[in-house]
Amino acid sequence: MNHVIVTDEDAARVIKLRRPEKKNAITQGMYAEMSHAIDTAQNNPAIRCLIITGASGVFTAGNDLEDFQNASEGTGQRPINAVKFMYSLVQNTKPLIAAVDGIAIGIGTTMIFHCDYVIASTTAAFSTPFIHLGLVPEGGSSLLAPATMGHQKAFAMLLMGRSVSAEEAEVAGFVNAVVPPGHTEIEAFKVARDICALPPEAVAVSRKLLKPPPEEILRRIDQESHLFGERLASPEAIAAFKSFFERRRA
């Protein structure tokens, strides 16, 4: 079954996570499909922007931890497809819109900091509970989150694992609009139409000016990935993963 549905609607490429039985938890195969969808849009002038969304009621529960553990076991490294997806986000040159209806955990929140416009439902909640697994922030979030929301709020989210509501995220600056449940995709398409009506070259140049240099973000991702790999092999992380899977089996 295909858990990532990619469609081109007018001038927007829509990347939809569709794994409802697992709350859209992301596998390495799903990372590869999302990367491909982003990468192949770059040289396609017919695609003016990207929308990433999940099923109504959930964005993503983050990594599928069993798949993640299987992919990283014995390597001491973060699984390669996850890293490639992060690179695709950074190297993307098209405006990226997120429609977040429900939970956005781990990478679900991390990818939001790479988006240009974020619409969340009132039921959305953002969290990065890496610390509870003995791990560290990922995907450039240790650079982008403090730049967006300030050190103190980023500390509470990234270091303490505290959840942020849609309304709090709007105040913090990484959500543009909060809408009723079931309306995020509708609003995302409205934003996409507005963007696609603008001069494309001016949009591309202006977007580039607004964002940190890709090389800076990629260096941080590489640094995070190295430390993430070290942490995976740490006694803290091993114990945390063991406890997680024991709770799941109970």
- Look at the block and give the residue holding tokens 């941080």: 220
Chain mean position to CA 129: 14
Q: Which of 7, 29, 27, 19 is nearest to 185 (CA)?
A: 7
Domain boundaries, the chain: 4-181
CA distance 82 to 224: 13
- Residues 90, 93, 95, 97: is their CA dihedral positive or negative? negative
3-state DSSP assignment of residue 21: helix
Q: Tens place of pLDDT for every residue, the chain, 250 residues?
A: 789 999 999 999 999 999 999 999 999 999 999 999 999 999 999 999 999 999 778 999 999 988 888 877 665 567 789 999 999 999 999 999 999 999 999 999 999 999 999 999 999 999 999 999 999 999 999 999 999 999 999 999 999 999 999 999 999 999 999 999 999 999 999 999 999 999 999 999 999 999 999 999 999 999 999 999 899 989 999 999 889 888 877 7
CB-CB contact of 14 with 94 (8 Å):
no
82 phi and psi, to 5 degrees? Answer: -65, -40
What is the domain class of 4-181 according to CATH? alpha beta
**pLDDT given at position 65:** 87
Q: What is the largest CA-CA distance in the chain?
A: 56
CA distance 60 to 136: 19
**What is the number of alpha carbons within 13 Å of residue 172 lying toward its C-beta?**
27
CB-based burial of residue 95 (10 Å sphere; 0-12 exposed, 13-18 middle, 19+ buried)?
buried
**pLDDT given at position 79:** 77
pTM for this one? 0.94
**pLDDT given at position 76:** 58
Q: Which of 211, 104, 239, 77 is nearest to 168 (CA)?
A: 104
Q: Which amino acid is at 195?
A: I
59 phi and psi, to 5 degrees? Answer: -90, -70
CA distance 79 to 75: 8
CB-CB contact of 143 with 212 (8 Å):
yes
CB-CB contact of 147 with 178 (8 Å):
no
Kindly report, residue by residue over 121-151, the tens digit of the pLDDT. Answer: 999 999 999 999 999 999 999 999 999 999 9
> DSSP labels for 189-224?
HHHHHHHHTS-HHHHHHHHHHHSPPHHHHHHHHHHH
